[in-house]
Amino acid sequence: MAKLLLASIDEAYDARSWHGTNLRGSLRGVTREQAAWRPTSAKATADRSAGKPGDDRHNIWELMVHAAYWKYDIRRRLTGEKGRSFAIEGSNFWTRPIEGSLAEWRADLALLQREHDLLRRAVTAFPEFRWTKNAPGKPFTFEGLVRGVAAHDLYHAGQIQLLKRLRE
């Protein structure tokens, strides 16, 4: 099972596959300026004109850190790790960029890679007999969680591809 799950998460993240661009491929060549660009809705524009905060959409940078977080979360479920130790305080979505520096962009790209590598290790070490067991507090098996994180990477890869085109 681990071999098949590793192939799934790798194809969704950075290995060659038939389905098109994976998450890492969608980020290849993205500049910090492109990553920080935020599309806005007509409602957000109207809200700002009226002096209210707009409902701006997530940018590429935020989607990338979000994907890193869910790799971390699934790894934690596989390993049984307690407490929170994600590199950034909070959970799920973070406003990015903070300063917008190239160093911050590179650090968050490295965070995504690190979390993918750690998830791979957790999948490799996971006991074979537990894949079909439900994860604690979840109606999903451990296998389903790992397949889900692969699907999650592909979902956000598609969003990132769309955001790159919208910015053009």
Report the CATH number at residue 62: 1.20.120
**Position 65 in a domain:** yes
Judged by DSSP in three states, 136 sits in coil
96 contacts 63 by C-beta, under 8 angstroms: no
pLDDT tens, 45-101?
666 665 554 567 899 999 999 999 999 999 999 999 987 789 999 889 999 988 889
pLDDT at 34 over 80: yes
**Position 157 in a domain:** yes
SS (H, E, C) 52-120: CCCCCCCCHHHHHHHHHHHHHHHHHHHHCCCCCCCCCCCCCCCCCCCCCCHHHHHHHHHHHHHHHHHHH
**Position 41 in a domain:** no
Residue 49, pLDDT score:
63
**Position 42 in a domain:** no
**Position 87 in a domain:** yes
Report the chain's mean pLDDT, rounded to a whole number.
Answer: 92
pLDDT tens, 134-164?
999 889 999 999 999 999 999 999 999 999 9
Token pair belonging to 74: 């699934």
Which residues make Cβ contacts (< 8 Å) with residue 4, sequence separation at least 6? none
pTM of the model: 0.91
**Position 19 in a domain:** yes
Location of structure tokens 């409902």: 55
Which residues form the domain of 111? Answer: 2-33+58-167
Residue 110, pLDDT score:
98
Residue 52, pLDDT score:
52
Count of structural domains, the chain: 1
